[in-house]
């Protein structure tokens, strides 16, 4: 105990005493210095002791320089001046002289005196009352909501706030840029944060105006990037605003001329940015985001643009999120998507175009998932002989989440020698959910995407051996995976998905033994699909094992034959054909097609040919379909300003 | 203001008459108090109480001489004279020269020691004389000039033993105590800490620095954890020179450490020490320890732990034997005009009434005198003015709408957050009717806010006042200057952080105390400072108005609590006895007692009339920052830095409960208006509500406890805790129940 206490004491060595004495021009003997040092220590402790009393009575936890000075004053010692700064002083050492000192910058008094931006000082002290606990029961106001008047604003701040919001929401792009830049670097706007957050939460009232939403998102970005702002619990509010932009079936998205896709992409990027930089401020944020994305994804009534947002959001949150949420949902979702894609009717063209958008997004997300998973898998030479049955049973835990780096060009070695057979999927820290091993995952995904996956995944010759299914089998699998529900009658009417599972076509001779669970109801469809997909994945795995000897046989021609997109394309509509072209192009240079789809997909607006409003009624959820899409001339008026 | 004056002056005159005789008894009683601290009865008869000649124990006389010398050195000739006369020392005991005593500024108040002296030292010296703790107070006041006294104090340590053997002695005793029967071990273990400290100090005093260090390192780990703070101070003390002016040390030397040990255990210890011829330890026990022996069963470890922890051991049992009139004063008979709103109070009876008695409950209040209550005129109280009566009626009306609280019906809580209080909020108070809130800040300002729509207005200037029609009915409205109406006012005057703040019950005055050593009285009519009370020469930590107004109590770093009246610029009483800073002060609801909490970890209850310390409560393990009387005056709740709330029965002088739950210093405590709920607010950003009814009911039945004074607390904090309420990073520094039992909490938002 004595030792422990001792360490908490101020210690002044005799060398220090000597140095100080030298500085004062006195030569001290060793014994004198030692005595002095000891006494100095004692006095120092004494002063600290009595200064703590001032701290306690000021009802603080932090001992300040002022407390210490008071203690000194009461023991008739002169106070120490010049250390009143709030922030910690950097303590430097000089190696040669074993000297320690506090860095003391020169302050240019002239500059200081003539400075025009004199801080106004903080707002007036005030008392605010709120009923915290009614009848000792609960909070009227949930914890962590935005307090409405934490600060009363000084005139300057108010003016600043008005100018900034006007500039950002106004018409002048240059002004906006300046405002955003300032917002990003201004160190004195902490008091305004609640107001800005409030403005941003106004996104919900401007769902018709993409430009406005975009500006608000930029505002979020600036706030998030401002190093002087502590966002605290406002993160939650910001995230919900961004999520709105990602997921909501915006009124603006009815008009295919409006590029709401870019907005969603941007918002998703922003979401991931907020999450990675400020996610630690709010506990459970990640889970909440995942949950809401999952909810949207699993809701078949939502329009496709919402689904797109969910997929992009998951993609932005990293491959783990994709693996955790999107992948399990894929079989269920696939059926819906396919139903859309399979509908060639003219009235469906718009929806179908959206469907392709979602398809592309899923493809990109899944690709990265596979890549990252493969990367995170430990390389185990000669593991090819390992029985595949252990594949799912054991899992290697990856210590680091391995989320951040963008997919490197895959080294051939990493995926090299039959790595798909290696035991152990990429471990994932989620307890309640068991990871699917990579090969199984690949097989399942392959069953959905066919060669477009394999190609974009940059398999190369080595990897070519990976999906050992024969093209015909692949086709079977392809058909089979959505099979149970994708019989034409049911899939066409996506919202009323009443799957009659008993009559699902099973034309393949795969060694699948377990029959798909006979679930009937609409609500049960998703689950049933999930289960049947798992069975199909296992069956494809078995197939892949059984046919492993025929690796490397795949020929381009066959793949093309297999390439299922052809079925979706209808000659008279542009966009689907476009997808096909991508596939073809990538087939041509197979090893390079691993960049995100935006490079190939996005720049070409696929729906330009389609008359805008003709298919609006196809979007099931948006209730305001009938409303004509208007652009607001002076749209910042639509934002309710909180002042 | 003028209206106030009349009543007060009247009361003061009465008061003066009253105090004349009581002054002597005050001195006497202080002496008695002192005797309690002095060596076991018999040898301590020498304490110079009253006009008795001293018994003449030579060392006492020596002490007196030292004191006289000190006083003379400080040119306090008058005090010297008085002391000499009171002690019965011959004139030539010291060749007194009559220094110029005019500077003392005495009003020449006859035969008694004049309180007008105002010089803290002279007053303190009076106290010092009467207690045998000779050097304590003067040392405190002038720590740098007290060489003779300190030497007297310290010389007790000059006895020489073989320094190397200290450790052997100590571990020998330790072995012995560890080998005794279990039932005695806990009691005898109490000896360790004081012995350890005294042995260490002896080593240090005799310049055995290394031995002292070894001794400390070897045995400090054995001490109870709640002495950790003291041990830290002790361990930094390694030189004889350091001992001078070290408060902790002086406390140890000047006050005997009190231990309560059963007779059996004591005999055991005594026999052991005598057998072993262990004189070193025996001497220390004889000289520095006071062992309070009782007959009966030895106490258990938990019983001992509950009571120990203070700087000077437990309170002696005799210390808590005095009768305390804890009952409430009789309510003034004001007829309550239930239907008629604007009817005036009819009561015209002449006897003094109170403005704000906290009553048990409206209905059950009988008009006959409570047997435990002091007589109505024990302390002269100001008469009720018309406005007070009106206020009283308002109070009663509000009280009829009061919500009956209980475990199933918890109060709503409103939180008053101080925003942008970057300068540091240090104290908060509400008026009783919850219409005003005042905050003291570390930047020396005091701010008052109106929390009702009614704005704060100043009285017009004298010139403007001349113009108004004094006969008009609404003259009280007319004197107000509408131009000055605002939501808040700032009061400037202090030159240091404002640590204590208190509204007068009639809402006309505000009292603040500060680090600058002054207490200031502010008018809430003119929003100016009326008086600065100077008397504490060190920071004043807390102050509070009496529930009946007029009087107030203050306490601070100089360890002396002072009782003041608003129209006297000097204190009426000085309560001395704490061994460290007085950190909080509170008035009893009947205004006859004050309670002080200190950083010596004791609570003392003082009789305002006699100046006696009538209760000493030990058991806290840290400085006490919050005190609250129950509305019926029977119980006291105290909160300390250790995060515990302790409940005390004032009548029996017993600890009756311990409420554990807070994780940081408790800065505020308040009982609900009917006393069913105790609310505690803490630095840990929570308000907790406790079932006070249950806590008090459980204990009141136990007769044995009352008889022996040995409490046995069951740990039922969790049952008593009714709720924990978080604030948003806002430490709770004040709590207040409105007249309808809505709980108001206040603190500074601390992002």
Single out the residue in B288, B320, B352 at which a domain terminates: B320
Q: Which residue has the higher pLDDT, A374 or B731?
A: B731
Strand-pair partners of B564: B552
Strand-pair partners of B688: B680, B724
Is A545 within 8 Å of chain B by CB? no
B693-701: Cβ within 8 A, 24+ apart: B693/B406, B694/B407, B694/B719, B694/B720, B695/B647, B695/B656, B695/B657, B695/B659, B695/B720, B696/B630, B696/B634, B696/B635, B696/B647, B696/B656, B696/B657, B698/B657, B699/B649, B699/B656, B699/B657, B700/B649
- Tell me the nearest-neighbour CA distance from B426 into chain A, angstroms: 5
Under an 8 A CB cutoff, do A135 and B414 touch?
Answer: no
- Tell me the nearest-neighbour CA distance from A100 into chain B, angstroms: 24
**Which residues have a Cβ under 8 Å from the Cβ of B56 and sit 6 or more positions away?**
B46
Under an 8 A CB cutoff, do A42 and B599 touch?
Answer: no
Q: Compare CB distances from A2 to B220, B412, B725 and report the shortest one's residue.
A: B220
Instruction: Answer yes or no: is the ipTM higher than 0.85.
Output: no
* Residue B195's CATH number: 1.25.40.500
- Over residues B531-581, the pLDDT tens digits come to 999 988 899 999 999 999 899 999 999 889 999 999 998 999 999 988 888
Mean per-residue pLDDT for B378-403? 86
**Comparing C-alpha atoms, which of B719, B15, B198 is closest to residue B7?**
B15
Under an 8 A CB cutoff, do A129 and B414 touch?
Answer: yes
Under an 8 A CB cutoff, do A126 and B418 touch?
Answer: yes
Shared domain check, B526 and B669: yes
With respect to residue B146, please indicate whether it lies within any of the assigned structural domains: no
First vs last C-alpha separation in chain B:
42
Query: Which pLDDT does position B316 carry in this prediction?
Result: 78
Under an 8 A CB cutoff, do A53 and B239 touch?
Answer: no
Shared domain check, B441 and B296: no
Identify the residue whose tokens are 């998507």. A337
Identify the residue whose tokens are 């200031």. B520
Contacts of B486 in chain A (CB under 8 A): none
Q: Is residue B675's pLDDT more than 60?
A: yes
Burial environment of residue B107 by CB neighbours within 10 A (0 to 12, 13 to 18, 19 or more): exposed
| Alpha helix ranges (H) inside A13-88 | 14-23, 30-57, 65-74
Query: Which pLDDT does position A625 carry in this prediction?
Result: 35
Q: What are phi and psi of B643, to 5 degrees?
A: 80, 10
* Strand (E) or helix (H) holding B644: strand B644-649
Contact B124, B576 (CB under 8 A): yes
Query: How far is residue A320's CA from residue A426's CA, in Å, rounded to a whole number?
Result: 10
Query: Which pLDDT does position B148 carry in this prediction?
Result: 44
Under an 8 A CB cutoff, do B413 and A131 touch?
Answer: yes
Is A151 within 8 Å of chain B by CB? yes
**Which residues have a Cβ under 8 Å from the Cβ of B310 and sit 6 or more positions away?**
B600, B601, B602, B618, B619, B620
Residues of chain B above pLDDT 90, percent: 23
Residue B251 to residues A103, B37, B67, B154, Cα–Cα distance (Å): 42, 12, 17, 11
Is A86 within 8 Å of chain B by CB? no
Query: How far is residue B138's CA from residue B120's CA, in Å, rounded to a whole number?
Result: 9
With respect to residue B232, please indicate whether it lies within any of the assigned structural domains: yes
- Chain B's closest residue to A42, CA to CA, is B236
Q: Compare CB distances from A45 to B236, B415, B418 and report the shortest one's residue.
A: B236
Query: How far is residue B37's CA from residue A57's CA, in Å, rounded to a whole number?
Result: 29
Shared domain check, B288 and B168: yes
Strand-pair partners of B695: none
Shared domain check, B430 and B314: no
Is A138 within 8 Å of chain B by CB? no
With respect to residue B38, please indicate whether it lies within any of the assigned structural domains: no
What one-character DSSP code corresponds to residue B331?
P
Which of B196, B236, B514 to probe by mutation at the A interface, max A CB count within 10 Å? B236
Mean per-residue pLDDT for B368-395? 83
| Structure confidence at residue B523 as a pLDDT band (50, 70, 90) | very high
Is A133 within 8 Å of chain B by CB? yes
With respect to residue B106, please indicate whether it lies within any of the assigned structural domains: no
Shared domain check, B432 and B314: no
Query: How far is residue B627's CA from residue B640's CA, in Å, rounded to a whole number?
Result: 9
Under an 8 A CB cutoff, do A136 and B411 touch?
Answer: yes
**Comparing C-alpha atoms, which of A420, A484, A477 is closest to residue A446?**
A477
Q: Which tokens in the block code for residue A449? A: 């995407």
Q: Which tokens in the block code for residue B482? A: 């509408």
With respect to residue B549, please indicate whether it lies within any of the assigned structural domains: yes
Shared domain check, B289 and B429: no
Query: How far is residue B504's CA from residue B334's CA, in Å, rounded to a whole number?
Result: 21
**Comparing C-alpha atoms, which of B185, B194, B262 is closest to residue B234?**
B194
Domain with B602 in it: 422-460+488-695+723-748
Contacts of A147 in chain B (CB under 8 A): 728
Single out the residue in B320, B338, B355 at which a domain terminates: B320
Contacts of B414 in chain A (CB under 8 A): 129-132
In the predicted model, residues of chain A with pLDDT beneath 50 are 1-7, 140-151, 379-432, 458-643
Query: Which pLDDT does position A65 carry in this prediction?
Result: 86
pTM, rounded to two decimals: 0.57
Contact B6, B385 (CB under 8 A): no
How many CB pairs below 8 A link A and B?
A: 147
- Over residues A401-450, the pLDDT tens digits come to 333 333 333 333 333 333 333 333 333 344 445 667 777 777 777 777 77
Q: Compare CB distances from B683 to A39, A59, A124 and report the shortest one's residue.
A: A59
Asked whether the CA dihedral B112, B118, B119, B120 is positive or negative, the reply is positive
- Over residues B692-727, the pLDDT tens digits come to 888 887 665 555 555 565 666 677 778 888 888 888
Under an 8 A CB cutoff, do B420 and A125 touch?
Answer: yes
Q: Which residue has the higher pLDDT, B665 or B302?
A: B665
- Measured at the CA of A121, the angle between CA A116 and CA A127, to 5 degrees, comes to 160
Strand-pair partners of B606: B594, B613
Query: Which pLDDT does position B125 carry in this prediction?
Result: 41
- Measured at the CA of B521, the angle between CA B535 and CA B431, to 5 degrees, comes to 130
DSSP for B386-405, please give it: HHHHHHHHHHHHHHHTPPPP
**Comparing C-alpha atoms, which of B557, B555, B573 is closest to residue B565?**
B573
Query: Which pLDDT does position A510 carry in this prediction?
Result: 41
Q: Which tokens in the block code for residue A492? A: 């066409």
Task: For chain A, positions 55-74, list CB contacts with chain B under 8 A.
Answer: 56-61, 66, 70, 74
Is A126 within 8 Å of chain B by CB? yes
Mean per-residue pLDDT for B157-185? 78
* Residue B623's CATH number: 2.130.10.10
Task: For chain A, positions 245-274, list CB contacts with chain B under 8 A.
Answer: none
Shared domain check, B312 and B180: yes
Contacts of A11 in chain B (CB under 8 A): none
Contacts of A122 in chain B (CB under 8 A): 420, 422
Query: Which pLDDT does position B669 carry in this prediction?
Result: 94
With respect to residue B288, please indicate whether it lies within any of the assigned structural domains: yes
- Over residues A172-222, the pLDDT tens digits come to 888 888 888 888 887 777 777 878 888 887 777 777 777 888 888 888 888
Query: Which pLDDT does position A135 carry in this prediction?
Result: 63
Counting the structural domains of chain B, the total is: 2
Shared domain check, B427 and B280: no
Q: Which tokens in the block code for residue B204? A: 């240090």
Under an 8 A CB cutoff, do B420 and A2 touch?
Answer: no
Q: Compare CB distances from A133 to B413, B423, B749 and report the shortest one's residue.
A: B413
Query: Which pLDDT does position A80 carry in this prediction?
Result: 83
Single out the residue in B284, B304, B320 at which a domain terminates: B320
Identify the residue whose tokens are 């006297």. B568
With respect to residue B427, please indicate whether it lies within any of the assigned structural domains: yes
Query: Which pLDDT does position B90 carry in this prediction?
Result: 63
Q: Compare CB distances from B410 to A58, A131, A135 and report the shortest one's residue.
A: A135
Q: Compare CB distances from B420 to A6, A126, A147 and report the shortest one's residue.
A: A126
**Comparing C-alpha atoms, which of B589, B193, B204 is closest to residue B381?**
B589
Is A140 within 8 Å of chain B by CB? no
Query: Which pLDDT does position B677 carry in this prediction?
Result: 92
Q: How large is the C-alpha radius of gyration of chain B?
A: 27
With respect to residue B641, please indicate whether it lies within any of the assigned structural domains: yes
Is A10 within 8 Å of chain B by CB? no
Q: Which tokens in the block code for residue B74? A: 């400080």
Contacts of A128 in chain B (CB under 8 A): 416-417, 419
Q: Which residue has the higher pLDDT, B238 or A484?
A: B238
- Tell me the nearest-neighbour CA distance from A40 into chain B, angstroms: 11
């Amino acid at each position: 105990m004595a030792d422990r206490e001792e360490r908490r004491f101020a210690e002044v060595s005799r060398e220090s005493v000597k140095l100080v004495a030298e500085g004062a021009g006195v030569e001290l003997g060793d014994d004198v210095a030692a005595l002095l040092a000891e006494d100095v220590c004692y006095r120092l402790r004494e002063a600290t002791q009595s200064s703590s009393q001032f701290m306690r009575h000021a009802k603080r936890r932090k001992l300040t320089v002022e407390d210490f000075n008071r203690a000194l004053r009461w023991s008739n010692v002169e106070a120490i001046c010049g250390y009143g700064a709030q922030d910690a002083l950097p303590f430097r050492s000089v190696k040669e002289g074993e000297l320690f000192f506090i860095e003391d910058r020169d302050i240019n008094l002239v500059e200081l005196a003539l400075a025009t931006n004199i801080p106004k000082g903080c707002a007036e002290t005030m008392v605010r009352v709120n009923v915290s606990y009614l009848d000792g029961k609960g909070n009227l106001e949930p914890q962590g909501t935005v307090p409405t008047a934490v600060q009363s604003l000084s005139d300057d701040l108010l003016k600043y706030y008005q100018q900034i919001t006007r500039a950002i929401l106004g018409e002048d792009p240059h002004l906006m840029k300046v405002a955003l830049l300032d917002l990003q670097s201004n160190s004195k706007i902490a008091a305004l944060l609640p107001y800005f957050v409030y403005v941003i939460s106004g996104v919900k009232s401007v769902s018709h105006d993409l430009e406005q939403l975009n500006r608000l998102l930029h505002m979020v970005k600036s706030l998030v990037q401002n190093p002087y702002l502590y966002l605290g619990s406002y993160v939650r509010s910001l995230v919900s605003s961004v999520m709105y932009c990602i997921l909501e079936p915006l009124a603006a998205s009815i008009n295919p001329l409006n590029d709401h896709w870019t907005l969603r992409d941007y918002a998703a990027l922003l979401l991931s940015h907020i999450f990675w930089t400020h996610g630690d401020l709010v506990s459970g944020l990640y889970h909440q985001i995942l949950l809401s994305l999952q909810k949207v994804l699993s809701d078949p009534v939502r329009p496709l643009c919402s689904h797109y947002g969910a997929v992009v959001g998951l993609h932005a949150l990293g491959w783990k999120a994709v693996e955790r949420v999107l992948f399990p949902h894929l079989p269920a979702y696939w059926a819906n998507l396919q139903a859309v894609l399979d509908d060639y009717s003219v009235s469906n063209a718009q929806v179908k175009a959206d469907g392709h958008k979602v398809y592309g997004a899923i493809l990109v997300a899944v690709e990265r998932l596979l890549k990252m998973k493969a990367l995170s898998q430990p390389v185990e030479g000669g593991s090819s002989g390992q029985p595949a049955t252990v594949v799912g049973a054991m899992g290697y835990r990856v210590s680091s989440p391995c989320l951040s780096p963008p997919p490197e060009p895959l080294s051939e070695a990493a995926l090299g020698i039959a790595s798909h057979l290696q035991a152990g999927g990429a471990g994932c820290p989620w307890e309640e959910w068991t990871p699917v091993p990579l090969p199984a995952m690949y097989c399942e995904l392959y069953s959905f995407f066919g060669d477009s996956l394999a190609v974009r995944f940059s398999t190369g010759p080595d990897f070519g051996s990976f999906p050992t299914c024969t093209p015909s089998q692949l086709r079977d699998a392809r058909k089979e995976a959505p099979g149970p529900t994708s019989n034409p009658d049911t899939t066409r009417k996506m919202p009323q998905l009443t799957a009659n599972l008993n009559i699902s076509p099973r034309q393949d001779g795969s060694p699948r033994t377990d029959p798909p669970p006979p679930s009937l109801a609409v609500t049960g469809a998703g689950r049933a699909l999930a289960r049947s997909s798992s069975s199909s994945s296992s069956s494809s795995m078995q197939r892949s094992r059984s046919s492993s000897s025929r690796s490397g046989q795949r020929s381009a021609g066959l793949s093309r034959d297999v390439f299922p997109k052809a079925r979706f394309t209808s000659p008279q509509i542009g966009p689907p054909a476009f997808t096909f072209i991508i596939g073809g192009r990538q087939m041509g240079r197979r090893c390079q097609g691993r960049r995100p789809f935006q490079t190939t997909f996005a720049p070409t607006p696929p729906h330009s040919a389609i008359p805008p409003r003709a298919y609006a009624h196809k979007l099931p959820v948006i209730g305001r379909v009938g409303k004509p899409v208007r652009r607001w001339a002076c749209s910042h008026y639509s934002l309710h300003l909180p002042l | 203001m003028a209206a106030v004056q009349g009543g007060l002056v009247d009361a003061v005159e009465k008061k003066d008459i009253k105090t004349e005789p009581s002054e002597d008894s005050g001195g006497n009683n202080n002496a008695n108090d002192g005797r309690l601290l002095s060596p076991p009865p018999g040898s301590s008869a020498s304490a110079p109480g009253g006009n008795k000649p001293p018994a003449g124990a030579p060392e006492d006389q020596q002490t007196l001489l030292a004191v006289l010398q000190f006083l003379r050195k400080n040119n306090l000739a008058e005090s010297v004279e008085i002391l000499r006369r009171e002690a019965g020392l011959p004139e030539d005991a010291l060749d007194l020269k009559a220094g110029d005593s005019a500077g003392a500024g005495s009003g020449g108040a006859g035969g008694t020691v004049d309180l007008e002296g105002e010089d803290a030292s002279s007053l303190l010296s009076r106290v010092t004389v009467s207690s045998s703790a000779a050097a304590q107070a003067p040392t405190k006041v002038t720590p740098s000039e007290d060489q003779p006294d300190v030497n007297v104090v310290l010389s007790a340590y000059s006895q020489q033993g073989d320094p190397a053997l200290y450790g052997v002695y100590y571990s020998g005793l330790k072995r012995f105590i560890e080998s005794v029967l279990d039932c005695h071990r806990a009691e005898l273990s109490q000896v360790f800490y004081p012995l350890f400290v005294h042995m260490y100090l002896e080593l240090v005093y005799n310049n055995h620095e290394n031995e002292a260090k070894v001794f400390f390192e070897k045995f400090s780990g054995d001490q109870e954890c709640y002495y950790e703070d003291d041990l830290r101070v002790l361990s930094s003390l390694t030189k004889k020179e350091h001992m001078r002016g070290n408060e902790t040390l002086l406390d140890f030397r000047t006050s005997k450490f009190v231990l309560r040990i059963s007779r059996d255990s004591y005999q055991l210890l005594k026999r052991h020490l005598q057998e072993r011829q262990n004189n070193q330890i025996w001497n220390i026990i004889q000289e520095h320890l006071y062992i309070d022996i009782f007959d009966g069963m030895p106490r258990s470890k938990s019983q001992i732990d509950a009571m120990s922890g203070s700087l000077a051991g437990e309170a002696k049992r005799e210390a808590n034997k005095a009768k305390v009139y804890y009952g409430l004063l009789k309510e003034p008979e004001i007829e309550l005009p239930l239907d008629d709103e604007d009817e005036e109070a009819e009561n015209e009876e002449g006897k003094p009434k109170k403005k704000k008695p906290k009553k048990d409950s409206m209905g059950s209040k009988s008009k006959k005198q409570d047997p435990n209550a002091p007589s109505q005129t024990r302390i002269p109280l100001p008469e009720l003015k018309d406005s007070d009566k009106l206020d009283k009626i308002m109070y009663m009306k509000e009280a009829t709408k009061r919500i009956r609280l209980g475990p199933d019906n918890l109060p709503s809580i409103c939180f008053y957050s101080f925003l942008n209080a970057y300068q540091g909020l240090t104290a908060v108070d509400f008026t009783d009717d919850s219409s005003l809130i005042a905050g003291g800040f570390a930047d020396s300002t005091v701010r008052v806010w109106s929390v009702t729509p009614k704005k704060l207005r100043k009285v017009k200037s004298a010139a403007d006042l001349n113009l108004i029609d004094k006969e008009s009915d609404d003259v009280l409205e007319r004197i107000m200057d509408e131009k000055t109406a605002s939501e808040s006012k700032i009061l400037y005057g202090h030159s240091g952080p404002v640590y204590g703040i208190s509204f007068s019950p009639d809402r006309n005055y505000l009292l603040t105390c500060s680090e600058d050593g002054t207490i200031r009285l502010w008018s809430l009519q003119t929003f100016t400072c009326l008086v600065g009370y100077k008397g504490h020469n060190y920071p004043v930590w807390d102050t509070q108005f009496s529930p009946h107004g007029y009087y107030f109590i203050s306490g601070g770093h100089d360890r002396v609590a002072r009782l003041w009246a608003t129209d006297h610029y000097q204190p009426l009483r000085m309560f001395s006895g704490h061994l460290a800073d007085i950190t909080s002060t509170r008035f009893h609801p009947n205004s006859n007692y004050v309670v002080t909490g200190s950083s010596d970890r004791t609570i003392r209850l003082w009789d305002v009339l006699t100046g006696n310390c009538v209760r000493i409560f030990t058991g806290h393990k840290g400085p006490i920052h919050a005190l609250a009387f129950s509305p019926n005056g029977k119980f006291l709740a105290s909160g300390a830095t250790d995060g515990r709330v302790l409940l005390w029965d004032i009548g029996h002088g017993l600890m009756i409960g311990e409420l554990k739950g807070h994780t940081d210093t408790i800065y505020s405590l308040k009982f609900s208006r009917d006393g069913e709920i105790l609310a505690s607010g803490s630095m840990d950003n929570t308000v907790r509500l406790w079932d006070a009814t249950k806590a008090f009911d459980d204990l009141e039945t136990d007769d044995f406890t009352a008889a022996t004074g040995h409490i046995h607390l069951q740990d039922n904090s969790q049952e008593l805790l009714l709720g924990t309420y978080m604030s948003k990073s806002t430490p709770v520094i004040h709590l207040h129940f409105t007249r309808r039992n809505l709980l108001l909490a206040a603190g500074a938002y601390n992002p």
